[in-house]
Homo-oligomer: A and B are copies of this chain.
Amino acid sequence: MPKTKSDGTAQPVASNLKIVLVAPRNPLNIGAAARAMSNFGFFDMRLVNAYELAFREAKSAVKSQGVLKDAREYPTLAEAVADCALVVGTTSIGPRVLDHPLRRLEYGGKLIVRKMASAPVALLFGSEKFGLSNEDMSHCHWLMRIPTREGHGSMNLGQAVAVCLYEIARNPAAVKIPPESKTTASADDMERFTEYLETVLAHSGYVHARMAGSTRMKIRRLIRRMNLNTHDAGVWLGMLRQILWKLEH
């Protein structure tokens, strides 16, 4: 995987991705696909041979109104993908019975992203029951498979769309982005914490005078392992101060 600017190619253009649902039957699935598109910033949905009723019901349902409102219907797959320079079909079938090259999503997604930088790409999803037909697949340059397990390969349509779009929207560089977090407590904070805790433990009889030296080191290490941020170190100091006050009075 390229570590820098993905081998110098231009950025993918989100509007270049066309999600094509072929013969979808269930309005909930059409709606779920539209919602996932909106979640990941893709807005061009195309429907081929959709059940009229399913499409109407989906349109009247919640969320991602934008995607569904603008979705276009086509009588044939050829017309739906006419403007696309790359046509990719999704399938859960193993490679043995296919006449097409079959790529895993991790690899295929990268090729799609690359192509999206310069030209429209169609990503096809078949009907819930039968997937894409051989006729549908003959319009594809290649096929793509989500790496599901062999015993249960077939995914729900809305979930399959979500997973594919996530892979396409996924930022490989983000694997290395550390979490946003508060500032780590300073060594000074840690040392004050150590002293307070030691005093509290001495007052409560946990520390014996004879063992004081080794206990202090143990406590110091214990506190460093907490990986405290500035805020939490302050909270701890406040609690210890209060405990100490109570112990002394």
Residues of B within 8 A of A199 (CB): none
CA gap between A153 and B63 in the complex, in Å:
12
CA gap between A175 and B170 in the complex, in Å:
13
Known A-B contacts A107-B177, A171-B147, A174-B106; A156 and B158 likewise in contact (beta carbons under 8 Å): yes
Q: Is the CB of A64 closer than 8 A to any CB of chain B?
A: yes
Is A146 touching B175 in the complex (CB atoms < 8 A)? no
Q: Is the CB of A178 closer than 8 A to any CB of chain B?
A: yes
Is B149 touching A39 in the complex (CB atoms < 8 A)? yes
- In chain A, positions 184-209 with a C-beta closer than 8 Å to chain B are none
Minimal beta-carbon separation of A123 from chain B (angstroms): 16
Known A-B contacts A39-B152, A155-B35, A155-B162; A175 and B102 likewise in contact (beta carbons under 8 Å): no
Q: Is the CB of A213 closer than 8 A to any CB of chain B?
A: no
Is B172 touching A1 in the complex (CB atoms < 8 A)? yes
A24-39: CB near B (< 8 Å → 1, else 0) gives 0000100010011011
Q: Is the CB of A166 closer than 8 A to any CB of chain B?
A: yes
Q: Is the CB of A176 closer than 8 A to any CB of chain B?
A: yes
Is A39 touching B148 in the complex (CB atoms < 8 A)? yes
B146, B163, B180: the one within 8 Å of A95 (CB): B180
Q: Is the CB of A8 closer than 8 A to any CB of chain B?
A: no
**Size of A's binding interface in residues, CB under 8 A:** 48
Q: Is the CB of A167 closer than 8 A to any CB of chain B?
A: yes
Residues of B within 8 A of A64 (CB): 152
- In chain A, positions 97-132 with a C-beta closer than 8 Å to chain B are 101-107, 110
Is B175 touching A40 in the complex (CB atoms < 8 A)? no
Q: Is the CB of A15 closer than 8 A to any CB of chain B?
A: no
CA gap between A178 and B179 in the complex, in Å:
33
Residues of B within 8 A of A167 (CB): 166, 170
Known A-B contacts A64-B152, A101-B180, A156-B32; A171 and B39 likewise in contact (beta carbons under 8 Å): no
26 contacts between A and B (CB under 8 A): A1-B175, A32-B158, A39-B148, A39-B149, A39-B152, A39-B154, A40-B148, A63-B152, A64-B152, A102-B179, A102-B180, A103-B177, A104-B174, A106-B171, A106-B175, A107-B178, A142-B179, A146-B166, A147-B166, A147-B169, A156-B158, A156-B162, A158-B159, A162-B162, A166-B166, A167-B170
Given contacts A101-B179, A142-B179, 4 further A-B contacts (CB under 8 A): A107-B179, A147-B166, A159-B159, A166-B166
